[in-house]
């Protein structure tokens, strides 16, 4: 299952908006709506979320026809506990194990969303970590399609 940009989460859109505003591109609502493939009303709600909920010091410039930050602003950081970091490491190993199966895309999408939350991206020396932590993931049994379908049905039901 592939997703167009319009199916991405608010988090993704807010991060894209933040990065464009921060880089001085002076994005405006129609341009953002077009590039993110959503309505202008959705972009307006995302801009309100940035200003009101995240306290972004953002204003609109009539001269530049776009939004800008009036003072330096960074998105709140995602802090992970050591246990969550280990879970990410195990998840990365699981992703490798699921390559070429129906589970690969949902796992990869989850990792992409998590990585978007980090201001500088994610940098881990997997070789060093792999020498410290070891575990064995059993080979997939071939019923990944059934598992993926069941998971999808459960997710829709929730």
Q: Which two tokens stand for residue 76?
A: 């709140």
Q: Specify the CATH number for the domain of residue 56.
A: 1.10.10.10
65 and 86 part of one domain: no
Confidence of residue 120 (pLDDT cuts 50, 70, 90): low
Confidence of residue 131 (pLDDT cuts 50, 70, 90): low
Helices (H), the chain: 10-22, 29-36, 40-48, 82-97, 104-116, 126-132, 144-157
Average pLDDT over residues 36-64: 95
> Could you tell me the residue range of the domain that residue 47 belongs to?
5-69
114 and 51 part of one domain: no
Average pLDDT over residues 22-49: 96
Between these two residues, 42 and 93, which has the higher pLDDT value? 42
58 and 91 part of one domain: no
Confidence of residue 5 (pLDDT cuts 50, 70, 90): very low
């Amino acid at each position: 299952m592939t997703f167009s940009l319009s199916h991405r989460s608010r988090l993704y859109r807010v991060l894209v908006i933040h990065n464009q505003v921060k880089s001085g591109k002076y994005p405006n609502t129609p341009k953002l709506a077009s590039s993110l493939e959503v309505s202008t009303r959705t972009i307006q709600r995302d801009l309100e979320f940035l200003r009101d909920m995240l306290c972004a010091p953002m204003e609109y410039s009539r001269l530049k026809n776009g939004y800008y930050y009036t003072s330096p602003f960074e998105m709140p950081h995602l802090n992970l506990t050591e246990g969550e970091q280990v879970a990410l490491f195990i998840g990365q190993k699981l992703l490798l194990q699921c390559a070429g199966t129906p589970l690969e895309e949902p796992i990869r999408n989850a990792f992409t969303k998590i990585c978007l939350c980090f201001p500088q991206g994610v940098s881990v020396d997997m070789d060093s970590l792999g020498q410290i932590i070891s575990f064995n993931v059993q080979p997939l049994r071939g019923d990944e399609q059934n598992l993926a379908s069941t998971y999808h049905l459960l997710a829709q039901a929730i």
